[in-house]
Amino acid sequence: MTPRSLRMRLLLLLIGSLVLAWGAMLAVGYDEVREEIHELADARLQQGARTLLALDLKRLTRLAQAGDGDAGNGRDHGNQVAPLAFQVWGGDQRLLLASPDAPAARFHPDDGYATRVIDARAWRSYSLRDARRGYQVTVLEPLALREHPVHEVAWRVGRVALWALPLLGVLVWLSVARGLAPLGRLARSVGTRDAGNLEPLHVQRIPAEAVPLVAALNGLLARLAVSLDRERTFTADAAHELRTPLAAIKVQAEVALGAPDAAIRQQAIVQVIAGVDRATHLAQQLLTLARLEHGGELALQAVDLGGVAAECLALRAGDADARGIAVDLQADPGCVVHGDPATLRILVDNLVDNAIKYGVSGGRLAVAVERHADAWRLTVADDGAGVPAADWPRLRDRFYRGADRSAAGSGLGLSIVERIAAAHHATVGIGRGIDGRGLAVSVDFPSASGAA
């Protein structure tokens, strides 16, 4: 679908508004001119009646006999005013005399103005009576003669308007082009930018109406810059972390190739497999974190957090048994939260996996889901070597594994937990583990009733 041009819309709106306003002005002006001309013509009728009434019948008779009938015929007199027709009526309602162009019918017996149609022709009259002499003078003219000057004035004004409208259209076009010029400069500035240039756009010489648009674009550019910077950091860290297991795999493979002894070769192959497992685990963690950061909003539903914890512990039972770790689960009844079951399993699994890997062999692992104020708190604690309190904030950093690097971890577990918790409007806390030893990670979820 072709986008509609803002320039064309403005031009059509402005020119259309001008045409409508001009037309309305002409219509109002036409009515005012017509009314003014009718008032002047009525005043002329009245003045004519007063003038004729001042004459005696002899002079009125001579005036009637000298009339040329032009007013009655309605001929064009150019710039001259057409002569008026008149009638003289006696006191006995007889027509005493009339100009040749006057109709024979009487208009109105009373004095004053009157309008009447005679023989399909509209007339306007003014009557004035001389009580002393006993007769009435009626001066009249066809209404059609009044329309001629009205039409002439309207044509002259309309002709000026017809010539002025194209000029106004050009002026409107130039004004719109000048008004939209800042948007054109803004479009060119954005269009010519390099893909890596995420600097904010300048708002100088930008109209106030476009400032919110520029501000929104600058906000988008800032978010893109943060996202790209995070992606670059993530990629660099991932490359650094993958380099170590891949290098170890290469070394062990070379040992296996050059080993003269079958036992040494077997041991090297075992190390290669272990290195591949570590690299695979790291890649899976990276993919999980990337999916969480770009997966958008979660479809939340009621989830039994205690059931999720029990399920994850059952899956990790073999790993715990291999290290002789005793597992304990305490879950209060009704521990239901609004969440996404799949990502909640990832959260609990990462916490349990970290506790097993970094806990002490033969130690304990305690998982609790309990009511805490208006939230449900999930706590995973171990009694291993733990992490110094000064390093707790760094545990939230990606790829940070603390001083103990003997365990085959990636340092991404808590980062994944943080991301899932944020998507569920939950908060993550770090503290001492079982009996003040090891490490405990707690996640406070809004309860299902509170979240609803």
Domains (range + CATH), the chain: 6-151 (3.30.450), 212-294 (1.10.287.130), 301-451 (3.30.565.10)
Which residues, at least 6 apart from 129, have a Cβ–Cβ distance to it below 8 Å?
Answer: 111, 135, 136, 137
Amino acid identity at 199: E
State the pLDDT confidence band at 292, using cuts at 50, 70 and 90. Answer: low
Residues 366-417 pLDDT 10s: 999 999 888 899 999 998 877 777 776 666 665 555 545 444 444 565 777 8
Residues 227-238 pLDDT 10s: 787 777 667 766
% of the chain with per-residue pLDDT over 70: 83
DSSP assignment letter at 202: P
β-strand partners of 301: 339
| More confident position, 37 or 76 | 37
- So what's the pLDDT on residue 70? 38
Instruction: Please write down the HEC assignment for all residues of 106-163.
Output: CCCCCCEEEEEEECCEEEEEEEEEECCCCEEEEEEEECHHHHHHHHHHHHHHHHHHHH
Q: What is the pTM of this model?
A: 0.48
pLDDT of 175 > 80? The answer is: yes
Specify whether the CB–CB gap between 124 and 103 falls below 8 A: no
C-alpha 275/C-alpha 260 separation (Å) is 22
Helix (H) or strand (E) holding 439: strand 439-446
Can you tell me which residue has the tokens 């048994």? 321
pLDDT of 244 > 70? The answer is: no
- So what's the pLDDT on residue 370? 92
| More confident position, 286 or 263 | 263
From the CB of residue 351, how many other CB atoms can be counted at a distance below 10 Å? 28
Amino acid identity at 64: A
What is the per-residue burial (b if ≥16 Cβ within 10 Å, else e) of 179-197?
ebebbeebeeeeeeeeeee
| More confident position, 82 or 360 | 360
